[in-house]
Structure 1
Amino acid sequence: MWLTDWVKEFFRKADMVLLALIVAASLFGVVLIYSATRYLGQDGIRYVPIQIISILLGVVAYFIMSFVDVELFTEKSWKWMLGFNVFIILLLKTPFGVGAETTGNNSWLAFPFLPVNIQPAEVAKVFFVLLLALQCRKLQDWGISRFSSVVQLAGHTLFMAGLIAVISGDFGMSLVYLGLFVIMAWTAGVKKRWFLLGLAGSAGGMALVWSHLPSYIQERFTVVIDHITGNPETLYQQTQDRGWQQTRSVLAIGSGGVFGQGYLQGTQTQSTSEGTLPARYTDEIFAVCGEELGLIGCVAVMLLLTAIILRCIWVARRASSPMSAYIAMGYAAMLLLQTGINIGMCLYVFPVVGLTLPFFSYGGSSIITLYACMGIVSGIKMRSLPSWLRDRSQLE
């Protein structure tokens, strides 16, 4: 009986618009993943079923998280959440940690009892947003723009971003954590001068550590700058070496034109030969869409993601408390950052940093995590009314 009551309340109060948007995006992603894995033959059969199962589990996570009072949960369990974040990142240094030689990252956990790998930084990101929102709310009492407050917020962020960069070498995910801090701190009311100082400090810090960065990281940035500026001296680097992945992506998108080459008809997407579009069902799924469905398909992808982000912002603006607003804005920022960086990689205006396109790219742990985050946003929408008004509405 209690489950029936929960289901009725879910359909009555949960954010069904948000759920419909993310399911639509995910199913669109399944369509693209099917096309992007056909070239693998029998080896590619498993990807679509795993993605569909992950979506179903994600819907369950959305349902459950809609009923969780995340403010109370975070308040009571923040120490455990912080400890969990550190622990799951450090697991990458155990025999369960796996990576890819081509990217230099060691970003995944492979457990023999699970059919999919887990990306710890993705899971930790859920709790990072909650913890940063709690910090912002507590520091409001002392003055969010005070030096000590900014140091605490920045210290937490730099610790997590640095831990991920050092343990896994995943600088792309570290950038997302830094971006989350900037957007959430701005939302919380940190004054502009701190962002200007942070920008200047970041530029100075980059200049100091640039020579100490791995050469492959340096080349990922320089090859994009050379491509944008049209430097002829590094043409080989731009097209055949470090810029090869992005060159293939741009060619795929450009060859699609307005309406695309046709679903399951993409030249690079369906090619089995080497030297064609890499990471088709993960990092480069947007290029697959551009090649086979053209500009129309790419616009549809961007409209869906924009609608999801705007819905999160809409919930944030109607949240019943500042902390809930920070959480919803944090998850909106997460989607905005990953979308912008991923599409930027595919269009050759951002370095390759190994970030997938939310809801569209293949990835079981990523899909379930995203649905859980959106479930938290749905829960904020369910509790958006003041308690006295919510109690009165129950009597009607």
Structure 2
Amino acid sequence: MVKKILKSYDYSLILAVILICGFGLVMVYSSSMITAVARYEVEADYFFQRQKLALIGGSIAFIFMMIFPYRAFLNSKILKLIVIGSIGMLLSLFFIGKVAGNAQSWISLGGMNIQPGEFVKLSVIIYLAAVYDKKQSYINEFGRGVIPPLVFTGVICVFVIIQPDFGTAFIIGMITICMILCSGTNLKSILKLVATVVAFGILMLPLIIMNGLFSDEQISRFVGVADPFKYADGDAYQLVNSFYAIGSGGLTGLGLGQSVQKYGYLPESHTDFIMSVIAEELGIFGVLFVLLLLTFIVLKGFSIARHCQDPFGTLLAVGISSMIAIQAMINLGGLTGLIPITGVPLPFISYGGSSILLLLISMGLLVNVSMFTNYRDTYQQTTTQEVKTTSVVKSINQKRNTSMR
């Protein structure tokens, strides 16, 4: 039994996770050593050591989630705990939250900064996957099958927006859309949902404008993207320096550790703009290495979803893969000037304990879904075939014995 389970794990996916996390750790050290000393006045390896600890903790969680049966999350008590815990974490930010980057998104515990919004992403994925799995028999009934689960997602997004953290809220919204599209809902229900969302957005627009929901800094990000070099000394300072970093890297880069932009020109060099440093130090080859690994992980996730015959497992795989793909596109779009900068980290690469812990827990869950799918396809089908063969042999023997008599 244990041998069969071990054979069923997708080791190519596990290897991809190991490679991208290891590469990310190296780049966190390279991109943060100057910032650590000059800006934060700590040791050069300060961020490297903290990321390493987060990776160790995340690796333990990854292994646990690989072993823990994913269908246990269908238990109603566990789901209630996820819902209450998620809302509780976000509510606690208004009382004990720490402001960083103009958003009250952090909780400081024992010298560690935890970002609840990161873990809430996975909570939403598990909740929606479980609820839509249970609603498969009436999934096309708009008022009964589609709408009710979205109340939880809506409450979560409102709490996240109030912080304000529009990047995380947008990611949660996009993950929800991806999961609804893959839940078995028909086109009629999807169109009704689109109409409802548009109508709600139109009703909320005057309120947003009147209350000035977007801060001056957030508005400046749109201005910077519109004409970055015109505002190179102000609103588009980071974006323009990101362009310089990417442009100076060329094909092979300046060499590992040789970035110029990380010397104070690119303030978030180890978080939001770490890919700019990779492009500068390792060139196109370094960028392609990261993009290929991310693409492999995302496509592998959707492949797992496609082959999984369990709706819950399918939706989990879709949600996790969508989360990684959406985060990567938002991060890369921001540092290349395609969209406004949102503060979304690059999955597996950017510095951030909460982010790497969430991603490794999610990947452990994805590997778990893959293992159960492979196990069922390989061994249960083999067992069924053996039973059929045995039945046929018995039938032939019975006929033979009857004819001999």
TM over 0.5: yes
Of residues 33-42 and 10-19 in structure 1, the stretch that sits farther from structure 2 once superposed is: 10-19
Q: 1:242 aligns with which of 226, 235, 241?
A: 235
User: Is 2:37 the partner of 1:44?
Assistant: no
Q: Which residue of 2 aligns with 1:120?
A: 116
Q: Which residue of 1 aligns with 2:68?
A: 68
| Conserved? CA contact 1:176–1:334, under 8 Å | yes
User: Is 2:30 the partner of 1:35?
Assistant: yes
Q: Which residue of 2 aligns with 1:15?
A: 10
Instruction: Tell me how far 1:199 sits from its aligned partner.
Output: 6.2
Instruction: Tell me how far 1:380 sits from its aligned partner.
Output: 0.7
Give the partner amino acid of 1:157: T
Q: Which residue of 2 aligns with 1:57?
A: 57
Q: 2:129 aligns with which of 123, 127, 133?
A: 133
Report the number of matched residues. Answer: 374
Alignment map for 1:1-396 (pairs within 5 Å): 11-39=6-34, 40-41=36-37, 42-76=42-76, 77-95=78-96, 97-100=97-100, 103-112=101-110, 115-144=111-140, 146-166=142-162, 168-190=163-185, 191=187, 192-194=190-192, 196-197=194-195, 200-201=198-199, 204=202, 207-211=205-209, 212=211, 213-216=213-216, 219-220=219-220, 222-223=222-223, 226-227=226-227, 235-236=230-231, 239-269=232-262, 271=263, 273=264, 276-384=265-373, 390=379
Q: Distance in 2 between matches of 1:308 and 1:388?
A: 21
Q: Distance in 1 between matches of 2:192 and 2:252?
A: 46
Of residues 10-19 and 28-37 in structure 1, the stretch that sits farther from structure 2 once superposed is: 10-19
Q: Distance in 2 between matches of 1:210 and 1:247?
A: 30
Could you list the per-position Cα deviations for residues 27-67 of structure 1 after superposition, in whole angstroms to 9, with x for gaps in the alignment?
A: 11112111112213353322222222322322221211112
Q: Distance in 1 between matches of 2:94 and 2:206?
A: 28
Long gaps (5+) in structure 2: 387-405
Instruction: Tell me how far 1:379 sits from its aligned partner.
Output: 1.0
Long gaps (5+) in structure 1: none
Give the partner amino acid of 1:268: Q
| Conserved? CA contact 2:122–2:362, under 8 Å | yes
Instruction: Tell me how far 1:316 sits from its aligned partner.
Output: 0.9
| Conserved? CA contact 2:108–2:114, under 8 Å | yes
| Conserved? CA contact 1:125–1:177, under 8 Å | yes
| Conserved? CA contact 1:144–1:188, under 8 Å | no
TM-score between both structures, scaled by the size of structure 1: 0.86
Q: Distance in 2 between matches of 1:74 and 1:307?
A: 28
Q: Secondary structure at the match of 1:348?
A: coil
Give the partner amino acid of 2:20: A
Instruction: Tell me how far 1:179 sits from its aligned partner.
Output: 0.6
Q: Based on CA coordinates, which of the two structures has the bigger radius of gyration?
A: 2
Instruction: Tell me how far 1:165 sits from its aligned partner.
Output: 1.4
Give the partner amino acid of 1:246: L
Q: Secondary structure at the match of 1:54?
A: helix
Give the partner amino acid of 2:254: Q
Give the partner amino acid of 1:25: I
| Conserved? CA contact 1:220–1:351, under 8 Å | no
Give the partner amino acid of 1:315: I
Identity of aligned residues (%): 27
Give the partner amino acid of 2:269: R
TM-score between both structures, scaled by the size of structure 2: 0.84
Could you list the per-position Cα deviations for residues 282-314 of structure 1 after superposition, in whole angstroms to 9, with x for gaps in the alignment?
A: 111111111111222111111111111111111
| Conserved? CA contact 2:73–2:130, under 8 Å | no
Q: Distance in 2 between matches of 1:138 and 1:224?
A: 46
| Conserved? CA contact 1:224–1:349, under 8 Å | no
Q: Secondary structure at the match of 1:360?
A: coil
Instruction: Tell me how far 1:140 sits from its aligned partner.
Output: 2.1
| Conserved? CA contact 1:129–1:327, under 8 Å | yes
Distance change >3 Å, CA 388–CA 326, structure 1 → 2: closer
Instruction: Tell me how far 1:126 sits from its aligned partner.
Output: 1.6
Q: Secondary structure at the match of 2:337?
A: coil
Q: Distance in 1 between matches of 2:184 and 2:377?
A: 28
Of residues 60-69 and 37-46 in structure 1, the stretch that sits farther from structure 2 once superposed is: 37-46
Distance change >3 Å, CA 70–CA 300, structure 1 → 2: same
Q: Distance in 2 between matches of 1:205 and 1:44?
A: 50
| Conserved? CA contact 1:248–1:277, under 8 Å | yes
Give the partner amino acid of 1:142: Y
Q: Distance in 2 between matches of 1:149 and 1:246?
A: 44
Instruction: Tell me how far 1:392 sits from its aligned partner.
Output: 7.2
Instruction: Tell me how far 1:138 sits from its aligned partner.
Output: 2.2
